[in-house]
Amino acid sequence: MTRTASCQCRGFRVIVEAEQPNTVTICHCQICQRRTGVPLTCNAYFPKSKVLLEGEHRIYTQNCPEGRKLHKLLLRKFRSLKHPTAIPN
């Protein structure tokens, strides 16, 4: 199954080739709340090898209080953070 997500201008796309995510979580940490502006988020995690990022971006890494690293994509065009990924320790 192919899943495609994009920003509104379609200048950046995330394409996932996988039947289902490895993990789906609901998070209510302050990092997610600040990033989205809502009380909780639902996050799907796929293997990195199954994800293709198309478009100009940079990866910004944030160390979380609980020890994991949160990788966020910074879109150069809009200077905004999108599509975070997390890698557990």
The residues of the shown chain that bind Zn ion, judged by CB under 5 A, are: 27, 29, 32
Tokens 């394409």 locate to: 15
Instruction: In angstroms, give the least distance from the CB of 32 to Zn ion.
Output: 3
DSSP state of 39: S
Instruction: In angstroms, give the least distance from the CB of 30 to Zn ion.
Output: 8
Q: Which helix (H) or strand (E) holds 30?
A: helix 30-36
Q: Tell me how many degrees the CA angle 12-17-19 measures, rounded to the nearest 5.
A: 135
- Residue 11 or 85: the one with the smaller Cβ distance to Zn ion is 85
Instruction: In angstroms, give the least distance from the CB of 37 to Zn ion.
Output: 13
- Residue 6 or 36: the one with the smaller Cβ distance to Zn ion is 36
- Residue 19 or 39: the one with the smaller Cβ distance to Zn ion is 39
Return d(Cα 45, Cα 22) in angstroms, integer. 6
